[in-house]
Structure 1
Amino acid sequence: MSEHTGAIQIDVLHARAVLDLTMRLAEVIFASGAGAEDAVAAMQAVTRAYGLKGIDADITHTLITLTFENPATHDTISRSRNVKFRNLDFTRLSETSQLIAELIETPMDVAVARKRLATIVSSKPLVPVLVRRLGWSLVGAGAALLIGGGVTVVVAAFIATFFVDLITSALAHRKVPVFYQTVVGGAIGPVVAAIVHLIDPAANPSLVVVATIIMLLAGVTVFGAVHDILSGFYITGTARLVEAVLITGGLVTGVAGASAMLARLGLHLRIDLDLAPSLSDLPILLLGAIVIAVGFSLAVQMPWRALWVVCVLGALAEFFYQAGITATLGQVWASAGSAFLIGLIATVAAPLVRTPPFVVVVSALVPLVPGLLLFSSLMQVADGNVDGLMGMLAAAAVAAALAAGAILAQYLVQYVWGPARNLQRRFVGPIMALPLRLTRAARTTVKRT
């Protein structure tokens, strides 16, 4: 009897160790930018690889839960973590995803796996804080190029965006609510625009305003929110959408307030948001998309091995989008078509650079995120113009089209080709934050989970 009890005790200790490891793995990838579906898929795959089958895993907004029912005693062991802060760190996401793939294929000793994960988490950042801040500055400069800014506007956007990130990061470090962070960030745009207008009256100050705040608009948040909603995580996706609206509302408040104060000082800024680059500007548009891709990659610590892929796909995304606009498909269908094609290409390109498809797709589609449309619509609403409501719906449609197009491409390729097929049967959408290996060996590996 004592031997039997001891055997059960060993199984319980093993189960607890596996649950702790699995929960930590899910927390790292979820906090680094992965969607709820990917984190849940990782938890189920890892636990099943270690022999635990009575698993219930779920994510509700920021709460990760994992429960195991012991088949011998019917006792349950539960783990939960509250991920309050999420920072895009694609190097940490990629390395942790690689570790998860190794554990699914050949489960190693739990203690060894924990040490591997601890090494990943405690590793030095890929680039220093200053370089990441310069990356966000490049995003602002690239945005200025995309919306037709000249040299003065591009330089002003680069400098202003640097200070936007510097100030908002300092506020975040002091635990200031994100709404007030974005209010301050949004106020910097008009101030810099006024300075540029005094230096170069020929420059369009509206371009400076928009370019300096596009980096703060919740583009990636909207993409992730739509991804979660389309994948069946409605509460998580809806909460992230509310966060996106809150951030954008803070930007509008900051811009409107700063513009009103400047007007009292005699500096009247005309915020002109009717910006429509033509196909004749394609070289500049492609350059702007590449600059944004490079800047975003630095800001989110993209693995160096994937940088060239993101630059190529970022330019292709802008090219496909402009081709769709030229073909009079409209913003929604042009965005969906571009995202679908990028999703197909990313499925082949991501394994070449040992990076999850999610990392490549999101980074490549950043230039197409409807930040300008969403911001201009909210500005119209703030001025009492009801047309802004239609613009907000259009922005939501574009964001949904980007996510839906990329997800559809991933789903079709993964379903037809074979990787993660068994995992997909438990979920609505494809697995995007775990590495894909388009080989027969990978297909066999996943079946074991």
Structure 2
Amino acid sequence: MSDATVSIGVFDNAGYTRAVLDLTMRLAEVIFAAGAGAEDATAAMEAITRAYGLKGTEANVTHTIIALTHEDPGTHESITRSRNVKYRSLNYGKLTATSELIAELIENPIDVADARKALATIVSARPQVTALWRRLGWSLVGAGAAVLIGGGLTVLIAAFIATFFIDLITAALDRRQVPVFYQNVVGGAIGPMTAAVVALVDPSANPSLVVIATIIMLLAGVTTFGAVHDTLSGFYLTGTARMMEALLITGGLVTGVAGASLLLARFGLVLRVNGNVALTFADVAALLAASVVIVVGFALAVQVPWRAYWVVCLLGALAELLYLGGTSAGFGLVWSSAAAAVGVGLAAALTSRVVRTPPLVIVVTALVPLVPGLTLFSGLLQLSDGNIDGVLSMLTAGAVAVALAAGAILAQYLVQFVWGPARRLQRRFVGPLMALPVRLSRSPGKRI
């Protein structure tokens, strides 16, 4: 009888462990697929399992695989669960809601079944805005980018229309499971096609600005930030895989732009462009307004919570102002971008507590106006003319992208190192948490 009783007890304990591991992995999968880094997903899994009484749990994230292992201290039986993250797309509304749920479970663990119902409600909830409004958001990114780089009314309208159809077509290709490389080839080709129409309709306009605006829109969703975060946090395999994904997307974009330009030249529509557009303080009001439009458009597209809109708009303007100040002072594109990212990162680390939104959401959204579309396109033009300097320009564009991510992450690390919780987490993790709620306090507490 005693043996049977022990067997039932072991079975119940194993069943509870499996239920907790399954809940934990589902939570981590949602935030990871919605844009969080590998470190945030790993930290969330270990914190949740500790909150539910499972000590010594090992969590690991490798690009598309999330693994979680728990060893029973009494029986030394190991239970391992893994999930494959089949897709990733930026959805900051879902990321924020799940992050709040994780914080609640860490503070006050509820029944596992109830927690799964709460997560299912978040996953199945209607989007914050309709697909049309999200598409119009991407169009606002293109229109704002056109103004930011010096385009007039014709270029603004053309960029708005071009980016609308880019998102429409690439979304249709994505539903048909077309590889992301070819999606960006098609998306990149639409810019030069639209620019050719602009050149015919308004000869006084600079058609190259339409192409640059579409490049900025397509680069806005690239996973460079996540790649740098994972690499700096010690998740080298995941960071390298994400960087390769970003390079693949950029390669498809460059292929589409170059191929469409060559095709137009065959038909006599030679697209003579000028990629040397300098941004100065001369039109600072228009530039700041354009930055805010880009931020609002991106926030609509990735469903940033409404309560955080005023913060991302304010920090988007701050990012542009710091960037203009750096370039005007002669610090160059890379260091000016890094300085702007540090400034925005410091502000985001503090304001994220006010609007109850993860710093990742605020930082990425606010830095979209600084995406190096102009530099990338300049390099592409130089390479198409046989100028080897194009390689340097494209490397500069990559350096700017890395500087934006590294600067923002450094700022978040500094804030968490001073106020917490970096001291405790440093035993395991290298970088700061970006997608989870943290307690900026030296006093102990359950929250991460």
TM range (shorter): over 0.9
**Partner of residue 7 from structure 2, selected from 1, 5, 16:** 5
Q: 1:219–1:371: 8 Å Cα contact kept in structure 2?
A: no
Shift of 1:367: 1.0
Q: 2:349–2:412: 8 Å Cα contact kept in structure 1?
A: yes
Separation in 2 of the partners of 1:16 and 1:383?
Answer: 60
Q: 2:258–2:380: 8 Å Cα contact kept in structure 1?
A: no
Separation in 1 of the partners of 2:71 and 2:89?
Answer: 33
Partner of 1:98: 100
Partner of 1:444: 445
Shift of 1:383: 4.5
Amino acid paired to 2:32: F
Per-residue CA deviations over 1:237-257 (Å, capped at 9, x if unaligned) read 111111111111112221222
Partner of 1:107: 109
Per-residue CA deviations over 1:28-87 (Å, capped at 9, x if unaligned) read 000000011111111111111111122111111111111111111212111111112111
Amino acid paired to 2:30: V
Per-residue CA deviations over 1:270-304 (Å, capped at 9, x if unaligned) read 13211212221211211111011000000000100
Per-residue CA deviations over 1:382-428 (Å, capped at 9, x if unaligned) read 54432122223222222222112111111111121124642343101
**Partner of residue 387 from structure 2, selected from 378, 385, 388:** 385
Shifted more, 109-118 versus 381-390: the winner is 381-390
TM-score (norm 2): 0.96
Partner of 1:273: 275
Specify the SS of the correspondent of 2:43. Answer: helix
Specify the SS of the correspondent of 1:65. Answer: strand
Distance 1:370 1:249, change over 3 A: same
1:33-432 → structure 2 map (5 Å cutoff): 33-217=35-219, 220-419=222-421, 421-432=423-434
Separation in 2 of the partners of 1:220 and 1:259?
Answer: 23
Separation in 2 of the partners of 1:410 and 1:209?
Answer: 34
Separation in 2 of the partners of 1:348 and 1:232?
Answer: 25
Separation in 1 of the partners of 2:42 and 2:15?
Answer: 22
Distance 1:378 1:12, change over 3 A: farther
Specify the SS of the correspondent of 2:126. Answer: coil
Shift of 1:205: 0.6
Specify the SS of the correspondent of 2:66. Answer: strand
Shifted more, 420-429 versus 230-239: the winner is 420-429
Q: 1:64–1:80: 8 Å Cα contact kept in structure 2?
A: yes
Separation in 2 of the partners of 1:287 and 1:423?
Answer: 40
Partner of 1:21: 23
Separation in 1 of the partners of 2:213 and 2:18?
Answer: 50
Separation in 2 of the partners of 1:271 and 1:79?
Answer: 54
Shifted more, 281-290 versus 373-382: the winner is 373-382
TM-score (norm 1): 0.96
Could you tell me which runs of 5 or more consecutive residues in structure 1 were left unpaired when the two chains were aligned. Answer: none
Per-residue CA deviations over 1:190-212 (Å, capped at 9, x if unaligned) read 11111111111000010011112
Shifted more, 328-337 versus 348-357: the winner is 328-337
Distance 1:218 1:229, change over 3 A: farther
Could you tell me which runs of 5 or more consecutive residues in structure 2 were left unpaired when the two chains were aligned. Answer: none
Separation in 2 of the partners of 1:132 and 1:186?
Answer: 19
Shift of 1:188: 0.8
Q: Percent identity?
A: 67
Q: 1:294–1:311: 8 Å Cα contact kept in structure 2?
A: yes
Aligned residues: 446
Shift of 1:95: 0.3
